[in-house]
Every structure is written in C-alpha cells, then in structure tokens.
Structure 1
Amino acid sequence: MIETHGIRKTYRAGSQTVEAVRGIDLTMGAGEIFGLLGPNGAGKTTFLRILTTLTRPDSGTAVVAGVDVTRDPREVRRRIGFVAQGQWTWSTLTAREELIMQARLYGMRKAAAARRADQAIRDFGMGSFADRLCRTYSGGQRRRVDIALGIVHAPRVVFLDEPTSGLDPQSRAHLWDEVRRLRDTGTTVVVTTHYLDEADALCDRVAIIDHGQIVDLGTPRSLKDGIAGDLVTLGVDGDPERTAGLLRDEPAVREAEVVDGRLRLVVAKGAETAPLLLRRLYDGGVGITSIEVHQPSLDDVFLARTGRSLRDQAE
C-alpha cells in the first residue's frame, strides 16, 4: 500500500542545513497499523507530510495507494485521509455538518454524503453530541470528529499525526479501538507518536526514527526480543563505571554500561540474577541507592540503538 525508496528532505535554517529526512526506505501493507516512533524533531512529521503530498521530497520515490506522490499528488489526496496534530473542528458547526461538508468536498452527492456522515457518527460513537456545536465538545470528542473527517470518504490509507496527544487515558483508549476497527476493515493506518505505550499496544509494526533515519524496524515484540535479556538498572553510591567493571565478568551479565549516571545491565533471568548481583556488589563494598528490574520496552530498544532514552527525548 505504501512503498518508499531513498526519501530525503533538507531545510535551510538560517545559515545551517537541516537534514530532516535522510534516505528512508519503507514498505507498508494493506490492513496494517504502522507506527513511526521517535522523539520530537526526529523527522516523523516531515516524512508524513511527504507521503501526504504536503511536502515535496528533494530526492527518492514514494508510492501511496498505487500512485506516485510527486507525479500525481491530486490522485494521492483522493485515495488517502490525513488527520494532523491539533484540533481542526469549526466551533460554529456541528459534527454532522462538518462530516457532510467534507464528504461533499470529495465529490459525493448530498444524499450519499449524509449517509456517510450517519455511518461515521455511529462508528465513532458520536450520536449523543453530533448535532451540537463543536465549541461545546470535550477534547476527546473533538478528536473523534477529527478522525471521522479523515475517513468519511472511505480512503485506502489513513495518516494520523500524534492522534492522542493531550487526551486523557479514557479518550486515548477509545481512539485506539477506533483505529483497530479501521485496520480490521482493510484500511492501512499510519500513526506517528512519541508515546511508547501507544506504539506497543496499537501498532502491528514500528519504525523507530531518529535524526531522519530508521534505526530499527519490526513488530513491537520482535524489537524488544532483540535485546537479549532482562534489564536491571542500578543507582550506586560511588563511581558507576567502577561498578560496571565489577559486574562485566559475571556469567549472567550480557551487557553493562552507564547511562545518565546509573548502571544499566542486560542480564539473563532478571528476577533470579538481581539478588546475586546485589551480593556481589555488597562484597565489593558498593552501596546501592536504587534498583529496577523489568523486561525490555520500546524505550530500551531506542536506548540500545541510539544511546539515548526516548522518554527523555519526548519530554
């Protein structure tokens, strides 16, 4: 459904050149939720704008829903839906009026547009507020309308740029359900996000992007399985580099490094290994100020590939 080769985009920022996208190659299938995960400024939104014809690449090719984005951008727009960051409803219109107007802009006759609006209102659970003015909606209700506007014309591909940013947990969970429903109808959904739990729970595959490049690609499970072991993070009273040296020769320790002043270990069977490591450090005269044991997360994948925490970069 989407195929890109060598996509690049460079901007001028004063006297500096910023490489926003640096040679991205990707293929996305039909009926797939594909996540673009990375910190703010990683190049996710620029890449999304290229795929949706809002920005022209400097080089490379991109085919979306069977159409080249640079050769026939108008036809690409007919075949896709795009929901940008922020809220885009008109305060002086109702959700129903907005949906009908959007469908009409895509060439539907009035009766067909009304039917599509009714269907979207049912699908997104908007019946209780669809005929009120949008200025009376909550943030979650407005975001539901935004996404309904992006799919009212039944596109083959839907692009969602940070769809749940700023929403409360209940509203986020509801939108996740709606995105899954779109996938189940055969629609390809491309989501950009910097929320780790969102990418993990929602996406069939994830591309981790940093500095305009893909640093890892796969299912959330396969990316986490690529880190061979559990994670133990220690705060120590003393020099963490010296502490790492004490543990690197331990049979159960596969990696030991210092990250942000704390000792990060990749170990076999973390729950069993942690007490043994604590005993080893106690015998070596090292005081422990904190300890965390957990299975790998997508943040750990990002850290392993870039040396930085995605959580810290997203703050």
Structure 2
Amino acid sequence: MGAKSEVQVRKRGDSPLEPPSGYESEISNFLAWVQLERGLSKNTIESYESDLIQCAIFLKEKGAGNWQSVSLDQVSTWISSLTLGGYAVASLARKLSALRMLARYLVSEGNLESDFTELLSNPKKGRFLPHALSIEEMEKFLNSPDLNTVQGKRDRAIFELMYGSGLRVSEVSSVLANAIDLDDGFARIFGKGAKERIVPVGGQAVLAIRNYLHGGRPHLAKEKSGGELFLSKRGTPISRKMIWVLVKDYARRAGIEKNLTPHGLRHSFATHLLMGGADVRAVQEMLGHADIGTTQIYTHVESQRLQDEHANFHPLAQKSENVN
C-alpha cells in the first residue's frame, strides 16, 4: 500500500493531466508494480505515467470506457495519431512499450482477458531530422513570457537556459541554483547516467536568470524549498511535465505553428550552433552525447536546409527541370 500511495501522490504533482475515470486505478497499480518489481528509474516511471494517461484520454474520447473495452483498432488509431503529430520513433517506441507492459500486467492480474497490444507492430527505427525553430521563431518564443510577473521571469529564464545551453528538460528541472556560475557564464550539469559536464551559459540566459533570482524565485520559495533553481508555485522543484506544458502554451501564444516541445529547444540549440559554423565535436560535448553519431543528426538538418536554399534561389537549380 505504501508504494501505491507514493505513486499516487507523485502523480498529482505539477502535471495538469489526470487519467480519466475507468482507467485511473489500473494505471496507479501498474506504476506501483513497475516501481517495486521492475526497479525502473524515476524518470522512466514518470514517462510511462505520462504516456499511459495520454493514451487513456485518447481511448476515452474514442468510446472505450476502460482498459477492458479497448480494441486493437483504437490503439492502432492512437499510434497513427502520434505518428501524424510528429513524434520521434524513439518516443513512439517508448509509448508502445509502456502500453504493452501495462496490458501484460493487467492480463497477469486477471483484470484483462487478452492482450490488446499483441498484434501491434513496433515502429520502424531509423534516424529522423529533428524539427528546429528558425532564429526568428525562437526570438518570438523567448519574448513571449511577461517579465512583469513572477512566473514570466521564471519561464523566460527556463527557456533561455534550455535554448542557450542545450539542456534536456530533466536537466533544467533538477539543476541547482548553486550549480550555475553567472559571473563566469557556465553551469555544472548532471545528465544521463549522472554524468557531469560543464556547459556555457550565454549572456541572455545570464540576464534572464539574474532577473528571476532577484524578482522571481524569492516569491516562489517556501520553507520546504530545496536548492533547485526553478520552483513551482508551491515552492517545489518544477516538474518536467510542467515545463512541457509551458513550452506548448508559450509556443501557442507566440503564434508558432510547429509542434514545439522542450526537446525542440535542444534541437534548435544544436542546429543554430552548426548553422553558425560550430564544430560538431564541440556541440557533442555541450549536448552530453556519448556517441558523435547522435550529434551528427544535426549536420544532416543543416545540409538539408542548404539544399533547400539552393533549390529555391539558385537560378540554374530552378531551371534544371527544363533541361532535356
């Protein structure tokens, strides 16, 4: 019972999403099970939680009142909608993995007669070209928070740090205030596998963070607050899910039509650096990629942009289709 209640309390953190009626208890019990029996990391469990709630909301809208009434066609429609929504193959694979694990758990517990994911095929793996904002779009996005408000100061500082230093959403949500040296312009970050790296913090991010530290964080901090830099309204560390919601909300306010996510800010950081002539090895180090091949995805983005520019504006490229 202790594990289940712990998951339920965590689930009602900063996330605005709640599982619909008919789905809640199974998701909660499943999360407690993977926490105790499978020993999955906190980040993985939170990702599974978000994935399953997203799926449950979709299935409820399609007429399935609970997991027992879910059909293969409804799940396939959900996967298709994610594909059309621009989700990366890795994200699709994780979401499907969470759903498969839940279905098998429900079957093993006797709460489901058959596994509705059994006939689903895994998304094909391959490299994808990440979506990045243009520099003009990024400026609109960064300028969208209202700096006359406490929350606006915080959100501007979050976005400037994510874009200016290429941080993962999990890194920016957990970064400590004393891990950032604003005078020298660098931050000490603990990334995947608790690997430490030093990243530069640009001038605009320094200004935004100083503004937040002087006129934002003191209004959010409570007696129970820890050393995390970015706090929620309750004084607790801001969650990854809330940052995801904020990115979506401010992108809408800025009139950005692209499917912007927190990882899209990281994509934009890397792409804009390479556009400016940065060395791919330096970008790899700043991103914290163990494999240079992961970073080289961004070189393909820039190559494609240059090809598009050539095709659109070079006079001979425009006339090539008329050559016999």
Q: Which has the higher contact order (CA 8 A, sep 6+)?
A: 1
**Rg larger in 1 or in 2?**
1
TM norm structure 1: 0.23
Higher helix residue share: 2
Higher strand residue share: 1
